Chain A
Amino acid sequence: MTIKAGPFYFSESHEWISKKADNIFYMGISDFAQSELGDVVYITLPEAGKIYQKGEKIGEIESVKSVSEIYAPVSLKILSINSNLNDSSELINTDPHGSGYIAMVEPLNSSDVLDLMDKNTYESFVSSNHA
């Protein structure tokens, strides 16, 4: 099964993952997640080169009001982190699906990505769970 580059796939814990090129995916947190958190002031990023299992905590996002954990949406290896977030954590609020991405990753089994929700499914998941 091949995954097209471009579309976003979402986890129930509100992370997204999207294919950029062969074996290279971007991941971040959803626009809904950033709007729930409010102003992000600090982020603990995962370690480049490290492997995380699906659902494992890879980092923390702190907003003015709260702290949330970031989980691996699928089992993956971190290729590189978005170090811009160290000084400009507000990118998570302003561009969560773009320059506010968290890391470049390689899924251990890229077909796992297809088990996640596509954009429409995620949107109805959000509206039915957080009405």
Chain B
Amino acid sequence: METEINKKTPLYDEHIKLGAKIVPFAGFLMPLYYKSITFEHLNVRNNSGLFDISHMGEVIIKGKDAGAFVDYVFTADVSKIEPDEIIYSLILNEKGGIIDDVTIFKFSENEFMAVVNAANTQKDFSWLHYQQSEFQKKGYDVSIENVSEKIGLISVQGPKSRDIIYPLVDEIVKIGGCGFFDFKFKPKPVIKLKHFEFSCILFKDINVEALISRSGYTGEFGFEIFVPAEKTAILWDYLLKHGYLSNLVPVGLGARDTLRFEAALPLYGHELDETINPYDAGLEKYLSGTKNFIGKEVLKNIKSKEKRLIFFKLSGKQIPRHMQKILDENLKPIGCIASGTYSPSNKFPIGSAYISDTNVNPSSLKNFFIDIRGNFEKAEVVSPPFHKNVKKIV
């Protein structure tokens, strides 16, 4: 018997109306696709796509010592960014293993928001909660709140995203409000936003205030829009109705995965998990050199990478899948697939793998084999991303 109860995002009914194929993912009933993964994928690359990513978690971190707290629990130099900026970071355990990869929004010196992977929301919150109590014991002023269920999150991605968003919004240039986000700075006009900056806007006809960031998980220009949960469906319908001139279509998790993988963006549970350290994953640039953070001590002693992440393409048509074995030219196992998928932009299968055999030098590895259900498929090491220099079909 299936006893696990899957949650619904505020947009579940919209997905059903749009005829989505629904699948359970990270404890939520999510759209896998509406029409087809490859159609939705190519439409994002060529036009634009609308994603429900409300399943993602949001944790607010507040207090006089919030800056010291975020610098300790996250690997990147979080407190130093400007209010209105976002930074990508890792959360590590004491052994240097990756608990999650997150983005952190800075509202002020005393308030931050971490956006975390849906599958990890509870784990991250428990971990941060424990660290918060340790901080409080030492007399620091910091508090955290899991606001995931109060927030709906919609993403608009693709080269035409700006044509959809700009005409629909008014700037909010006052300090203070933005739904329940407490802006302590004067928000920038949305057209001025650079990558990994955010602002506050008002969607005109529906009178919905939202936090908008220039960010995404597709490798394309795009926005992510945070709204109160009860306004999410109104905004979703409004964007779909007004986005048709830019060929805006709803996009499910299937294409979200193929898009992120072509752009070589890591996915927790595939490229990242608690047995993998930032060096293995090639994410050492997100480790601060100037401050202390959880896991830093242990990482100092890691001289050589235990595993190495590589990217590859296949000449055959079979798709490599997570955990399948990779074999050297003598068919000796040397590692394991992290992600494998079909690249709709290139029309061939692609993947990533961790090489665990330390005798193998990834930079001299050219060809190897993947054991796909007993067939040894030849693969070639390539450098990502996979979606640049692909001839676009309009």
Chain A residues engaging chain B, CB cutoff 8 angstroms: 35-36, 38-39, 41-42, 62, 64-65, 67, 89, 93
Tell me whether A38 and B319 are in contact (CB under 8 A). Answer: no
Tell me whether B318 and A38 are in contact (CB under 8 A). Answer: no
Shortest beta-carbon distance, B37 to chain A, in Å?
5
Tell me whether B38 and A64 are in contact (CB under 8 A). Answer: yes
Alpha-carbon gap, A93 to B35, bound state (A)? 11
CB of B183 within 8 A of chain A?
no
A-B contact pairs, 17 of them (CB 8 A): A36-B21, A38-B33, A38-B37, A38-B254, A39-B36, A39-B37, A39-B38, A39-B342, A41-B349, A42-B317, A42-B319, A62-B319, A64-B258, A64-B344, A65-B32, A67-B319, A89-B317
User: Which size bracket describes the interface of B in this complex?
Assistant: 10 to 19
Given the known interface contacts A64-B342, A65-B37, the answer about A42 and B318 at a Cβ–Cβ threshold of 8 Å is: yes
Given the known interface contacts A64-B254, A65-B254, the answer about A41 and B36 at a Cβ–Cβ threshold of 8 Å is: no
CB of B43 within 8 A of chain A?
no
Which chain B positions have C-beta within 8 A of A36? 21
Which chain B positions have C-beta within 8 A of A41? 317, 319, 342, 349
Q: What 1/0 mask marks residues of chain B from 239 to 265 whose CB sits below 8 Å from any chain A CB?
A: 000000000000000100010000000
Central interface residue in A36, A38, A64, A67, by most chain B CB within 10 Å: A64
Chain B interface main SS type: mixed
Alpha-carbon gap, A89 to B316, bound state (A)? 14
CB of B341 within 8 A of chain A?
yes
Identity of the chain A residue whose Cβ is nearest the Cβ of B36 in the assembled complex: A39
Alpha-carbon gap, A62 to B321, bound state (A)? 11
Shortest beta-carbon distance, A131 to chain B, in Å?
12
Tell me whether B318 and A62 are in contact (CB under 8 A). Answer: yes
Which chain B positions have C-beta within 8 A of A39? 36-38, 342
Shortest beta-carbon distance, B60 to chain A, in Å?
35
Q: What 1/0 mask marks residues of chain B from 19 to 49 whose CB sits below 8 Å from any chain A CB?
A: 0010000000000110011100000000000
Q: What 1/0 mask marks residues of chain B from 328 to 364 whose CB sits below 8 Å from any chain A CB?
A: 0000000000000110100001000000000000000
Which chain A positions have C-beta within 8 A of B317? 41-42, 62, 89
CB of B8 within 8 A of chain A?
no
CB of B366 within 8 A of chain A?
no
Shortest beta-carbon distance, B179 to chain A, in Å?
35
